[in-house]
Amino acid sequence: MSRISTIPFGPQHPSFLEPLHLKLNLEEERVVSVELSQGYNHRGMEYAMEKDWKRDAFLSERVCGICSFHHGTTYCQTIEAIAGLQVPERALIIRTIMLELQRITSHTLTLGHIAEAVGYENLFMQFFREREEFMRLANLISGNRVHYSMNWPGGVRRDISPETAKELENKLDEMLPKLQMLDGVVRKDSTWLKRTKGIGVLTKEQATTWAVVGPVARASGIPYDVRLSGNAGYHLEGIRFEPVWREEGDCWARAMVRMDETLQSVDLIRQCLGQLRDGPLVAQFKGHPNGEGFSRNEAPRGELMYWIRAKGESKLDRVKIRTPAFVNIPPLAEMLPGCEFPDVPVIVVSVDPCVCCTDR
């Protein structure tokens, strides 16, 4: 007689922020198979984005509230690609600062989220406490906490004033030791390691087969980072970084990659602040884009791509968004079977399947 229990996870569940439904077939507490169902979050955004390309600078941010700026930036980059716009250097730098700032808030969120999933409430609180500091910085620079609404095809709409830059720099100096303390915990804490090390392993082969991106790929031994080849400000002079990657491919490695990238982002923002020189903020552009364009960026969860076909009017012909979570979610079907039930939220959260951008 079969000893299979079927347990629902989501769409509303304490460890998932977003509506995602996992139907877990468990034998005892071991996952036998999993059925993933999505689409709870499908609003029809790509269609809505066809309505008016100017509005999309704001609408594209609403694809996702965690890496909104990455979406906005990638959208603008695509339009810029279509229209052949040259973005001023200052705008590039500001974009990069904001991208990295958002990466920090996103990574600390994910790390806190994993901590919550393993039942380490205190660690969760600590991550979110530090995250709030960065949220405040973003608020200070852009005026908003979540959707910065700073982008515009051709550049940015808000400047970083010298005072703000100073404050940002001071704050980063203040935050670095705190982040390093958390880094120590993520690296060494024994109960945390027990719950994350060796859990949910995605081997390099599997990672290649499933073509995962972002920290998930980098934790499985694939040092793939679009920032190296992307078109945001990372190629500018004076900005240097090496992609962070690890071999293990387990939950701990994914957490560790994010932790290291957080520290790296702090460093990158500092580099950018050093490169912040006077100049125009936005390249002026009249008329409507016409033609096809493609652009990508390294969002906190990996490679984000926009492809747009415009037809020289305010309406766009087609907008296609390929989000990182779109490729990162499917491997769950291979990672979850065989694991223990309590590890399910940990694995799922460590992959960080954002539904809102996948469903759009």
Partner 1 sequence: MLRSTFKNLFSHPNTKRYPSVPADLPQGNRGRVEWDMKKCIWCMLCQKNCPTGAIKTDKAGKTQSVVRNRCITCGRCVEVCPTQTIFMRQQYSKPAMEPEIHIYGAEMMQWEYRVENLPILNHKKKV
Partner 2 sequence: MKSPWILHFDTGSCNGCDLEIWALLTPKYDVERFGMVNKANPKHADILLITGPVTKKCEERLRKLYEQTPEPKLVIACGDCASTGAPFMDCYNHNHGVNNVIPVDVFVPGCACRPEAIIDAVIIGINKWKEKAEAMETNVSHEDKIMPDDSPRSDQ
Partner 3 sequence: MQRARSKVPCIDKLNLSAPPLPPLGIMELGGWLLLSLIIVPMIGGAACLGLGRVLRLKAGVIVTSSLTILLGLLLFGYMTWNGLASISMTAAEVAPFSEVMLVADFALMLVFLYSGYKERSALVVLFALAQLIPLTWFEFVLSGDLQEPVIMVDFLGVMMALITSIIGSIICIYAIKYMEHDAHQPRFFAVMLLFLGVMNGAVFSNDLLWFLVFWETTTVCSYLLIRHEGTADAIRSGLRALTYTLGGGVALVFAIILLYHYSGTTLLSQLPLGNAISGLALVPIGLFALAAFTKSAQLPFQKWLLGAMVAPTPVSALLHSSTMVNLGVYLLLRLSPSFSPIPELQYAVGLVGGVSFLATSVLAIGQSSSKKVLAYSTIGNLGLIVLCAAIGTKEAIYAGMLLLLFHAISKALLFMAVGVVKHETGSEDIEPMDGLRDKMPFVTFALFVGVITLLLPPFGMFASKWMISEISANYPLFAFLLAIGFGASVVYYGKWLGRTFSAGPMRARKSAIDQPLSSYFKWTLLALMAGAVGLSFLISQVVAYLIVPYLGPLHIDVLFVSGALGMFPMFALLVVIVVSLTALALLSGSGKAEITDAYTGGEPFVFANSGAYFFSEKTAGKAIILINAIAVLLLISLFLFPAMQEVGLWAI
Under the rule (CB under 8 A), what is the footprint of partner 1?
Answer: 52, 54-55, 58-59, 62, 122-123, 126, 129, 132, 136, 139-140, 142-144, 147, 149, 157, 181, 185, 189
CA dist., res. 250 & res. 301, Å (int): 16
**Using CB under 8 A as the criterion, what x/- string covers residues 27-46 for binding partner 3?**
xxx-----------------
Q: 3-state class of 347 per DSSP?
A: helix
Q: Are 56 and 44 in contact (CB under 8 A)?
A: no
For residue 68, the partner it binds in partner 2, partner 3, partner 1, none, with Cβ less than 5 to 8 A by kind, is: partner 2
Q: Rounded to the nearest whole angstrom, what is the least distance from the CB of residue 222 to ligand SF4 in the complex?
A: 16
Closest CA to 215 of 266, 262, 272: 262
56 exposure class (CB count in 10 Å sphere: 0-12, 13-18, 19+): buried
CA dist., res. 79 & res. 295, Å (int): 9
Residue span binding partner 3 (CB under 8 A) among the ranges 22-30, 49-57, 69-77, 230-238: 22-30
Residue 34's DSSP bridge partners are 24
For residue 204, the partner it binds in partner 3, partner 1, partner 2, none, with Cβ less than 5 to 8 A by kind, is: none
- Position 183 contacts partner 3 (CB under 8 A): no
CA dist., res. 1 & res. 7, Å (int): 18
Q: Rounded to the nearest whole angstrom, what is the least distance from the CB of residue 228 to partner 2 in the complex?
A: 27
Residue span binding ligand SF4 (CB under 6 A) among the ranges 22-30, 60-68, 216-224, 244-252: 60-68
**Torsion region of 201: left, alpha or beta (phi above 0 gives left; psi -120 to 50 gives alpha):** beta
Q: Rounded to the nearest whole angstrom, what is the least distance from the CB of residue 339 to partner 3 in the complex?
A: 16
The site for ligand SF4, by CB under 6 A, has a size of 19
Which stretches of the chain are DSSP H helices?
45-49, 56-59, 68-83, 89-117, 121-142, 162-188, 190-196, 204-210, 214-219, 251-275, 324-328, 332-335, 343-351, 355-359
For residue 17, the partner it binds in partner 2, partner 3, partner 1, none, with Cβ less than 5 to 8 A by kind, is: partner 2
What is the chain's Cα-based Rg? 20
- Position 21 contacts partner 3 (CB under 8 A): yes
The residue among 107 and 131 lying less far from partner 2, judged by its C-beta, is 131
CA dist., res. 109 & res. 351, Å (int): 13
Taking each helix axis as running N to C, give the angle between helix 121-142 and helix 89-117, from 0 to 180 degrees, rounded to the nearest 10: 160
The residue among 54 and 204 lying less far from partner 1, judged by its C-beta, is 54
User: Measured in whole angstroms, how far is the alpha carbon of residue 352 from the centre of its chain?
Assistant: 9
The residue among 8 and 274 lying less far from partner 2, judged by its C-beta, is 8
Q: Rounded to the nearest whole angstrom, what is the least distance from the CB of residue 138 to partner 1 in the complex?
A: 10
Q: Rounded to the nearest whole angstrom, what is the least distance from the CB of residue 134 to partner 2 in the complex?
A: 12
The residue among 32 and 273 lying less far from partner 3, judged by its C-beta, is 32
Residue 340's DSSP bridge partners are 30
- Position 10 contacts partner 3 (CB under 8 A): yes
Give the one residue of 79, 325, 335, 344 binding ligand SF4; rule: CB under 6 A: 325
Site of interaction with ligand SF4 (CB under 6 A): 47, 62-67, 71, 146-147, 299-301, 323-325, 354, 356-357
